[in-house]
């Protein structure tokens, strides 16, 4: 059953089962998203949490290499930060919720979960969404990191230059100043609407009516974020983005294409080539525009006026990454199927289901554009392992994301599932936050608020 102090995170739509009996099934299958207050995170490596005082600048270091974590902590001290250290993803999320640090460094290869899921959880919680997250990792997937909301992405390297650059980016992301936004829009009415949607006194907005004017402005000052009309009359958008990035010398410059106009195939191809160097989004509604600007400018949602909060609430009524996507649930227990279907349909997902492994394979043959599979492992006849092996034997389905559902977390379960063809696994009872995070991370990006160039990938 749900704990007495359970409060669903504000970004999640309320899940109300269709019947009283369905509620019981949901309680059995799904654990609570999280209690109002996260449990106290254990101190895995000695850090500064016992010495924190009001007004301290705090850096959360998420790193399983203890030696490297201590190096980062020493450098943080030299730059006037107090430091928190987490060597596991679960601890990192709890520390972020408890202390709301000024910035976070995040490794991807953590022992209990991939850093992608930590990043996704932080960026879908209104209390931590504004915190800039800087990925420092040996993994090279900058495009994915930026797509999930990272402020910057640096690959670990030897020497001091890498660390100097990392802390320069951290300092810039938390600088206590009015943020500068450049809006490039030729239509006067649309330009005025954009400024009114974003404005709150904590952002200085500069307007340009053309790409050429935007480039002149970029010679005079650096901007923290740029909002562009995707159809400018005087310059192709990919060319403008690259020139703005060079003139402002801003790595991973946040760019938001705002408007219903679509880019041409040639422009789309060009945007894909540069999307791993630039934080690039395409949004079509004012509420999504506000959501993305807030993310890029690290605005604290609690400080926004009520009308802006209502606009954000409207933006979150539907998760654009999940809405309309196709999910197949394969489980021999119809109660589990019903509970998962009830949940997923709340997020506007199209849910297919099968009560056997063979039935799941047949559905995949008839629905070739399935986005993801939730696969129960313990099924009579052809179990989940064999079903996943059969799915992977098809060339067309080798990259289809499959999340295995196991009855209980046992040592070696994850490795056994991955060996059989799973992309990832989650134990039952299913944690709601973790399940939604897995869906967002593993699904190909949707068009709305999709980082350009990521829509066709499955990694």
pLDDT of 15 reads 38
pLDDT in tens, 380-435: 989 999 999 999 999 999 999 999 998 765 667 778 898 999 999 888 888 888 89
In this prediction, residue 380 carries a pLDDT of: 92
User: Residue 381: is it exposed, middle or buried by C-beta count within 10 angstroms (0-12/13-18/19+)?
Assistant: exposed
pTM for this prediction: 0.81
- At 453 the pLDDT is 38
The pLDDT, as a whole number, for residue 39 is 59
Separation of alpha carbons 177 and 242, rounded Å = 26
310: tokens are 């209502």
pLDDT value for 457:
34
User: What domains are defined for the chain?
Assistant: 49-173 (3.40.50.2300), 179-297 (3.40.50.2300), 326-442 (3.40.50.2300)
Which residues does residue 424 pair with via DSSP β-bridges, in sequence order? Answer: 403
Task: Give dist(CA 458, CA 445) in Å, integer.
Answer: 8
Residue whose tokens read 């705090």 = 58
| DSSP conformation letters of 147-201 | HTT-SEEEE--SSHHHHHHHHHHHHHHT--S-EEEEEE-S-HHHHHHHHHHH-SS
Give the pLDDT score at 10: 37
Q: Which residues of the chain have pLDDT under 70?
A: 1-41, 251, 408-411, 444-459
Closest listed residue to residue 33, CA positions, set 374, 394, 437: 437
Sheet holding 326-330, edge to edge: 350-354, 326-330, 372-376, 402-406, 424-427
Enter the DSSP assignment of 394.
Answer: S
């Amino acid at each position: 059953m749900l704990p007495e102090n359970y409060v669903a995170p504000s970004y999640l739509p309320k899940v109300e089962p269709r019947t009283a009996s369905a509620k019981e099934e949901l309680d059995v299958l799904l654990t609570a998203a999280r209690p109002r207050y996260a449990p106290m995170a254990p101190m895995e490596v000695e850090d500064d949490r016992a010495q924190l005082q009001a007004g301290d600048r705090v850096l959360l270091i998420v790193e399983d290499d203890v030696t490297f974590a201590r190096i980062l902590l020493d450098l943080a001290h030299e730059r006037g930060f107090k430091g928190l250290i987490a060597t596991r993803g679960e601890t990192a999320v709890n520390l972020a919720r408890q202390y709301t640090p000024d910035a976070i460094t995040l490794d991807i290869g953590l022992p209990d979960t991939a850093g992608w899921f930590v990043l996704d959880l932080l960026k879908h919680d209104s209390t931590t969404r504004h915190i800039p997250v800087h990925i420092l990792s040996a993994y090279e997937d900058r495009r994915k990191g930026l797509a999930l909301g990272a402020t910057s992405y640096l690959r670990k390297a030897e020497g001091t230059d890498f660390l100097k650059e990392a802390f320069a980016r951290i300092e810039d992301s938390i600088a206590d100043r009015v943020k500068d936004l450049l809006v490039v829009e030729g239509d006067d009415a649309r330009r005025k609407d954009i400024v009114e949607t974003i404005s709150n006194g904590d952002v200085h907005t500069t307007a340009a009516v053309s790409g050429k004017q935007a480039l002149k402005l970029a010679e005079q000052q650096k901007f923290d974020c740029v909002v562009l009309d995707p159809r400018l009359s005087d310059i192709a958008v990919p060319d403008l983005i690259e020139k703005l990035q060079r003139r402002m010398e801003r790595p991973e410059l946040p760019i938001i294409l705002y408007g219903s106009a679509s880019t041409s195939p040639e422009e789309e191809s060009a945007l894909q080539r540069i999307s791993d160097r630039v934080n690039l989004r395409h949004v079509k509604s004012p509420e999504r525009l506000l959501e993305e600007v807030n993310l890029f400018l690290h605005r604290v949602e609690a400080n926004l006026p009520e009308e802006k909060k209502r606009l954000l609430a409207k933006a979150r009524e539907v998760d654009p990454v999940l809405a309309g996507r196709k999910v197949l649930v394969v489980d021999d227990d119809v109660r589990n199927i019903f509970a998962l279907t009830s949940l997923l349909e709340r997020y506007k997902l199209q849910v297919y289901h099968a009560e056997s492994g063979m039935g799941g394979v047949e559905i995949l043959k008839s629905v070739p554009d399935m986005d993801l599979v939730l696969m129960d492992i313990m099924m009579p006849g052809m179990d989940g392992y064999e079903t996943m092996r059969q799915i992977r034997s098809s060339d067309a389905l080798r990259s289809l994301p499959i999340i295995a559902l196991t009855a209980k977390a046992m040592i070696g379960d994850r490795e056994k599932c991955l060996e059989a063809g799973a992309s990832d696994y989650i134990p039952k009872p299913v944690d709601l936050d973790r399940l939604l995070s897995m869906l967002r991370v593993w699904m190909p990006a949707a068009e709305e608020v999709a980082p350009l160039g990521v829509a066709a990938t499955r990694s």
